[in-house]
Amino acid sequence: MRNLLAFISRYQFTFLFLIFMIISFVLIYNNNYFQRSRIVSTTGNFTGRLNTIYSNFSNYFDLKRANEQLAAENAHLRAMLRLRTRNIPDSLIFLENNSTLRFISARVIGNSVQFRNNYFMIDKGYRNGIHKDMGVITSNGVVGIIVDVSENYASGISILHKDSKISGRIKKNDQLVNISWDGWNYRLGDLQHIPSHVNLVPGDTIITSGNSQIFPENIMIGTVEYIDEELENLFKKGKIRFSVDYNQLTYVYVVENVRKEELQRLKMSMPNNE
C-alpha cells in the first residue's frame, strides 16, 4: 500500500494528466450528436445569449445581402401566387392546400464552416415548436438538420459535417445520389458511388429527394461542378457546388413535416428496415 502511494505521488503529474484525459474523452464520447442535448440544455441559454449579442452586431454588415435575398424570395413567391390564382381548376392545388409542411422562420446566431464538423445555432427553440431532426432550409437551398433544442435556441449540423449525408435527386432524370462533405472546401460537396450508366454532367442540378422526410422534395442542394470517371469499378464520383453559401447564413426556415410520424411508423413496419 505504501509502495503504491509512493508510486502515485512520484508520478502524480502523469496520473493527473490521465485523469483529465479520461474526463475529456468521456465528454467527447457523450458528445455524439445524439446525446448533445444534455450539454446544450445546460449551456444553451448562456451561449445562446452571447451568440445573439454577437450576431446582433455582425448582422449589420450582412443587412444589404439579407434584404436582397428576402426581396428575391418575395418576388418569387408573388409570382407563384399569381400563377396559382390563375389556374384554380387544377386538382393538384387541393392537395397542396392540405399541405403537410409547416415552416418556422428563424435567425442564425452562430455558425461555422472551418471545422471538420460544423454546427449552426438558431434563435428559436422548443417554445417555438422546433424539434430534433427537423430540416433547415433557406430560399437558396438546403442548410442542415436540427440536432439539439433548448427552450429558446436550437442547434443543428449543416451538410458540412462528417455524419451528414443528404439524399438527393438529379433533377433531369430523377436518379438518386448521396451528398456528403470531405472537409476540404466548404463550397463543394461530394457525390460518390454513382453508377456509371447514370447520365450526369457538370452543370446538372441536384435537388432533395424527399425520401428522408426531413427535407421536403425539390429543394435545391447545388449544381454539379465536375465528374470523375472511375473505370475499374463502374462507378463515378464528382463534386457538387452547394447553392447555399454556408458562410453567409442569416435567415433560415425550419421545416416540419406534420405527417412524419405516420410515415415513419409505416417505414418501420416494412420488413427489410434496420
CB nearer another protein, residue 49 or residue 260: 49
CB nearer another protein, residue 31 or residue 74: 31
Interaction of residue 192 with another protein, rule CB under 8 A: no
Interaction of residue 34 with another protein, rule CB under 8 A: no
CB nearer another protein, residue 7 or residue 20: 20
Interaction of residue 54 with another protein, rule CB under 8 A: yes
Nearest to 115 by CA among 17, 34, 183, 182: 183
Among 7, 31, 77, 103, interactor with another protein by CB under 8 A: 31
- Total of chain residues touching another protein, rule CB under 8 A: 40
Interaction of residue 247 with another protein, rule CB under 8 A: yes
Taking CB under 8 A as the binding criterion, the range among 33-41, 204-212, 227-235, 264-272 that sits at the site for another protein is 33-41
Interaction of residue 112 with another protein, rule CB under 8 A: yes
Nearest to 135 by CA among 221, 50, 59, 70: 221
Interaction of residue 119 with another protein, rule CB under 8 A: yes
The binding track of 10-29 with respect to another protein, each residue x by CB under 8 A or -, is --xxx-xx--xx-xxxxxxx
3-state DSSP of the chain: CHHHHHHHHHCHHHHHHHHHHHHHHHHHHHCCCCCCHHHHHHHHHHHHHHHHHHHHHHHHHHHHHHHHHHHHHHHHHHHHHHHHHHCCCCHHHHHHHCCCEEEEEEEEEEECCCCCCCEEEECCCHHHCCCCCCEEECCCCEEEEEEEECCCCEEEEECCCCCCCEEEEECCCCCEEEEECCCCCCCEEEEEEEECCCCCCCCCEEEECCCCCCCCCCCEEEEEEEEEEECCCCEEEEEEEECCCHHHCCEEEEEEECCHHHHHHHHHCCCCCC
Interaction of residue 113 with another protein, rule CB under 8 A: yes
Q: How far is the CB of 114 from another protein (least distance, A)?
A: 4
CB nearer another protein, residue 39 or residue 227: 39
Among 135, 142, 145, 186, interactor with another protein by CB under 8 A: 186
Which of positions 222-241 make contact with another protein (CB under 8 A)? Answer: none
**Which spans of this chain sit near another protein (rule: CB under 8 A)?**
12-14, 16-17, 20-21, 23-31, 36, 39-40, 43, 47, 50, 54, 112-117, 119, 121, 155, 162, 182-187, 247
